Copies of this chain bind each other. A is one copy, B any other.
Amino acid sequence: MARRYDPERRDRIIDAAIRVVGARGIAGLSHRSVAAEADVPLGSTTYHFASLDELLTAALRRSNENFAEVMRESEALADPEADLAEELAGLLGEYFSGGRGRAELEYELYLAALRRPALRPVAAEWTDGTAELLSRRTDPATARALIALMDGICLQVLLTGGAYDEAYAREMLGRIAG
């Protein structure tokens, strides 16, 4: 077969990996499944990413960037007049409004760091980055606690299959933000 000149292949493989994780979970991620999704031969995925951990790391980093984008777009976060707890609760509402899919995907990548030390620095990047963003509206310790509570609330929704209760989230975030 003719060889293709494809300078952005690496990026496309990462995108394919994210789609595969979204559709079949990390358990369904393999060099072959990614190769098929990205429409590249098997050898190409192993060439660009020596191990699956490497690929997952890249996928988590990209996922983080996507989320960071969303938070940056929310100008309300920068408005010192707005109620921080309400803004965050609203943000989570939007996050869940598109169905479980997206949140499930991003959390699966994030939680994968539990067992994969290679992902931990990337997970820490996300936490630190978000904390820094929130630090413009409150002190650093409070910022971290807000993130922890949001994580916990998302977890309860995702793990137990329950619904997201925005008023409840607003109330509890408010207790921390003061």
- The chain A residues found within 8 Å of chain B, CB to CB, are 25-27, 104, 107-108, 110-111, 113-115, 117, 120, 123-124, 127, 141-142, 144-145, 147-153, 155-156, 158-162, 168, 171-172, 175-176, 178
Residues from chain B with Cβ under 8 Å of A108 in the complex: 114-115
Q: In the complex, what distance in Å separates the CA atom of A129 from the CA atom of B123? A: 30
Residue of A142, A160, A178 with most chain B CB atoms under a 10 A cut-off = A160
Residues from chain B with Cβ under 8 Å of A161 in the complex: 117, 120, 124
Q: Please tell me how many copies of the chain the complex holds.
A: 2
Q: In the complex, what distance in Å separates the CA atom of A178 from the CA atom of B114? A: 31
Q: In the complex, what distance in Å separates the CA atom of A127 from the CA atom of B117? A: 27
Shortest CB-to-CB span from A114 to chain B, Å, is 6
A contact patch SS: helix
Which of B114, B120, B142, B152 makes the CB contact (< 8 A) with A148? Answer: B152
Given contacts A25-B115, A27-B115, contact A151 B158 (CB under 8 A): no
Which of B111, B123, B148 makes the CB contact (< 8 A) with A111? Answer: B111
For A100, the closest partner residue in chain B by CB is B114
Are the C-beta atoms of A156 and B151 separated by less than 8 Å? yes
Which of B27, B153, B160, B172 makes the CB contact (< 8 A) with A124? Answer: B160
Shortest CB-to-CB span from A49 to chain B, Å, is 18
Residues from chain B with Cβ under 8 Å of A168 in the complex: 141, 144-145
Residues from chain B with Cβ under 8 Å of A141 in the complex: 168, 171-172
Residues from chain B with Cβ under 8 Å of A117 in the complex: 161
For A168, the closest partner residue in chain B by CB is B141
Are the C-beta atoms of B113 and A159 separated by less than 8 Å? yes
